[in-house]
Each structure stands twice: as C-alpha cells, then as structure tokens.
Amino acid sequence: MKVLITGAAGQLGRALMQELAHRGWEAVATDLAELDITVGDAVWRTLSNHRPQVVINAAAATRVDDLEADPDLAIKVNALGPRNLAVACRRLGLKLVHISTDYVFDGAKTVPYVEWDETGPQSVYGRSKLLGEKLVREQCPDHFLVRTAWLYGLPGPNFITAILARARQGLDLKVVDDQRGTPTSALALAPQLLALAETEAFGTYHATCQGEATWYEFARLILERAGLAAQVQPCGTEEYPRPARRPANSVLENRLLQLEGLDLMPSWQEAFHRFWDFYGEQL
C-alpha cells in the first residue's frame, strides 16, 4: 500500500513513517515545506502526482493557548486544510485518515466519551477541529475520522519533555490533578491508524490507549521511570489558569474500534514503557 503522510515531521508523522518502513509499505512524507494543506491547488497537485491509496493527515495547528488569539490560523489549518485534502481524496478515489481530538468535547461528562456523544468545544482549537471533522465528513465519504487525546512522541516538546526538564533542573513540580485523560503514545497510535486504513470500515473512531490518569499521575510515572527524585505535588486547574479552557474529562472510549474488532491500543502504562524503551536515551 502507498500512503502519503502530511505533518510527517511531527510526533505522529514520525511514528507513522517508522511504522510504514517496518511494514515495507511505500511512504510519501510531506510537511509544510513540501505541502501546505491550506492551499487547495497544492493539495490537488501533490495528491495527483503521487496517487497514494491512503492519505493520513497528521498536520495541525496545536499550540492551543496561542490559537485563542489567532482563530484565523486555527480555521485555516485545522478546518480548511482538511477540507482541501477531503475534496482531493474524493475526486481521486483515495481513503483519508484525519486526526481529531478530545477537545471537541466540553469535558463535563463524568464517564468516558463515546463516538456519538454530543460535542461542545470550549476553545478556539477545539472549535476549529470540530469544523474540520464536519468538512471531512461532507467532502469525502471514504474517511476515517480518528479522535485521540494526550498524544506524545518525539520530537518534543510535550508533557514528558517538560516534566523531565524541570526535574533535571532541580525544580519541584506542581501538576494538575483534576483533569483526567489517557496518555497516548504516537508509537501505539500509528499501527492502529494503519490497521484502520487497510479496511473499508469508514466513519468516526476514538483511538487512545486504554485506562485513564490525571496529569499528576502521569508525571509521577515519568519521574519514576527516569529515576528522578524531584518532588511532585498535585494541584487544581485554577492554580494554573491558561488562555484556552481544557476539558476536565478527556477520557475517550474506543467503543467503535472494539465493536469492529479493530482495537489494538495497549494500556497507557504499557505504551509509555515501550516509548521509554525506544526513546529513553533521547529524552
């Protein structure tokens, strides 16, 4: 299978390229220098020239707080860019795998979100990603729309690298303990996306690692695995106000993957330890 990746230099993009190489599939890596997905003509030319069977859109504007002051950028990259890809994929008869986010939900639910729960984004980022979902559904019937959450990989920065940097400077840490989600390794998500891409089970899916944690609980595991003795204290969200509102509950249930018999996601702890075994010397 020939797969074209957008955002190939990012955390998920790199994990996808590694997984494609492992499988021996043909890969076309594009990042902003090779393809600006906000330019419709460029998208059409690139996809027409390469003619992959599958396009995986791992490109996104993800600086959540910065986007509160730049909603136009959020809409261009997270909504109009996916629309451009969806239009080209429909016209060329290609499958499109588009990555979305837990931020399309308001976080008020007390149990995990399933794919058909009502959305209610609370930030510019979340609203732009929800619009991207809508446009992909409208423009490309052969789509896999995959929501994930708390994604990490290399290159950073991400939550893991931030915790390690502060701990190695000898600084004590306060970490939010009232936001729940599922840390999800890009190394675990990449094979899940490719497994979906091999099927024609089109639709909207949740794909996170199994289980749940708070950021505080995740930080403790990071420090334990790194062998660092830094003190980490739990705190509430109100102690660290941010421009963009975060969902208190970001836990997604992979219900449709399970019903389709396609859920390959490991526990979040297992995925983290595999990530550390793979990348620990670089962190």
Annotated active-site positions, please? Answer: 125
3 state SS of 53: coil
Which spans in the chain are helix H?
11-23, 40-50, 64-67, 71-75, 81-92, 124-139, 159-168, 186-197, 215-226, 255-259, 268-279
User: How many whole angstroms separate alpha carbon 265 and alpha carbon 281?
Assistant: 24
- What is the full DSSP assignment across 166-227? HHHTT--EEEE-S-EE--EEHHHHHHHHHHHHTS---EEEE---BS-EEHHHHHHHHHHHHT
User: How many whole angstroms separate alpha carbon 213 and alpha carbon 178?
Assistant: 10
Which residue matches tokens 């950021």? Answer: 215
